[in-house]
Amino acid sequence: MRAIARPLDTLVVDDGSHDATAAVAAKAGATVVSLPFNLGVGGAVRTGLRYAAEHGYDRAVVIDADGQHQASEIADLLGALDRDADVAVGSRFAVGAGEYRVSKTRRAAMRVLARIVQSLTGQRFTDPTSGFRAFGRPAIEVLARDYPVEYLADTVEVLLIVCSAGLTVAEVPSAMRVRAGGRPSQHTFRLLVNYLRVVVGLAGAAMFRPRRRRAIRRARSTRAAPDSGERPRSTPGVQYVEYEGRSP
């Protein structure tokens, strides 16, 4: 991170660890926020974004501490924000990201999630479960209040939240590495159960979305006074942007 040609402040959220994580991070010069017990990834990220919001930061980058995400690619995410995105997602499967090895079952589940998220947001995502992300000030303010803490919701649902808020999301290629340390929080069976849970929930949302839109249109049309000449308002459109290349 010291090699990045931008001034960066480093915040380490110690999520109830029982080792010397906090002491090592503080000795290396990072600001450390220690949680009293383990909240999971979503709780840790929400803590970090609340810190960013409360201390007036215009941008925040979320990066895992297990070595999978390459700090050198932070510049690519920030470059997407420079090009007017509100959120940048490092994608393992975007063109130019290289090869990322994952089991066939998990990859199939990821594809299903991506298609459902696309149907709900109107934007194509190649890697909706990636946790390597950068957020601009508007996204920080929204997510510091409403960041979900459940597994997979902390990545997938976040995309629904920011898109519903009218924010733009960009994907940039990210060559993620094999985990350098730590243990995965989800074992295979539990991981598949959680994927299935999220798929069912999102599929239900996608199924009822057209019905909800029709109900909104009917409600708006009845609010317009019949003799006032007022025309019912249509649902405002949201434009989404996707960047496929790396920043120079």
pLDDT tens-digit series, residues 106-126 = 788 888 889 888 988 899 999
The predicted pLDDT at position 222 comes to: 46
171-182 pLDDT, tens per residue?
999 988 665 555
Answer yes or no: are the C-beta atoms of 31 and 136 closer than 8 Å.
no
CATH code of domain 11-205:
3.90.550.10
Residues 194-198 have a mean pLDDT of: 61
Structure confidence by residue, pLDDT tens digits, 66-98:
778 889 899 999 999 999 999 999 999 998 888
Q: Where are the domains of the chain?
A: 11-205
Chain mean pLDDT for the chain: 79
For 10-14, 28-32, 153-157, 184-188, which range has the lowest pLDDT when averaged over its residues?
A: 184-188
Whether the Cβ atoms of residue 122 and residue 103 lie closer than 8 Å to each other = no
Prediction pTM value: 0.75
Strands 169-173, 87-91: pairing is parallel
Q: Token digits for 126?
A: 């190649």
Tell me if residue 219 falls in helix, strand or coil. helix
Q: What is the pLDDT of residue 3?
A: 66
Give the DSSP letter of residue 196.
H
